[in-house]
Chains A and B, each alone.
Chain A
Amino acid sequence: GEDVEQSLFLSVREGDSSVINCTYTDSSSTYLYWYKQEPGAGLQLLTYIFSNMDMKQDQRLTVLLNKKDKHLSLRIADTQTGDSAIYFCADIRTGGGNKLTFGTGTQLKVEL
């Protein structure tokens, strides 16, 4: 299957943790990525994880991968107003060439 699905919206208070979820259908995913898109801007690579890993931490960001359930999450600790953006997960699949398949995007709104 081709689908990479995300919930559309998430609203959190400043200082709380945000968890953005992603499910994918193709078990041949090799790399999974998180990108951030601010209004009118490009796609900023936040982090990525290889499919044989189950966790990766990078400062405020923690990526968890449950390969059995095909579930990927991005946790942002101590969420700030500057974290407000759309977050896309994306994957690369074995036999899928080098192309990224993007999820639908989750709009994160951080409230004071």
Chain B
Amino acid sequence: EPEVTQTPSHQVTQMGQEVILRCVPISNHLYFYWYRQILGQKVEFLVSFYNNEISEKSEIFDDQFSVERPDGSNFTLKIRSTKLEDSAMYFCASRRGQDGGYTFGSGTRLTVV
């Protein structure tokens, strides 16, 4: 069964450093998303991406965050200057069309120290 692949599975970074979280969505999917889950809390929407541009973003997704689809397969989330409160599990998801379910990756656990 097709999967959404995320790397790395766990990243530790120092406060103020830039991080890039990587995702390979399912190949025939057109809609791409990032969500995050702070430990013990809800899964929260960050951003959606379609047709090579951001279609929606939440208030969490401020100027420190950016997304990119640099080629036909990768979808990345960059945090420019990490803060302690960015520590969370970050999930990438993709969807083929506007009907049907999202497929989530297994997540990247980001720890900011």
Within 8 A of A (CB), among B56-113: 56, 58, 91, 93, 95, 98-107
Q: Is the CB of A43 within 8 A of B55?
A: no
Given contacts A33-B101, A97-B48, contact A43 B95 (CB under 8 A): no
Q: Is the CB of B106 within 8 A of A41?
A: yes
A53 shortest CB reach to chain B, Å: 13
A88 at interface by CB-CB < 8 Å: yes
Interface residues of chain B, those whose CB is within 8 Å of chain A, are 31, 33, 35, 42-45, 48, 50, 55-56, 58, 91, 93, 95, 98-107
Q: Complex formed: what's the CA distance from A33 to B35 in Å?
A: 16
A51 at interface by CB-CB < 8 Å: no
Q: Which residue of B lies closest to A99 (CB)?
A: B45
Q: Is the CB of A48 within 8 A of B101?
A: yes
Q: Using a Cβ cutoff of 8 Å, how many contacts connect chains A and B?
A: 52
Q: Is the CB of A45 within 8 A of B104?
A: yes
A102 at interface by CB-CB < 8 Å: yes
The 0/1 profile, CB within 8 Å of B marked 1, for residues 75-112 of chain A is: 00000000000001010000001111111110000000
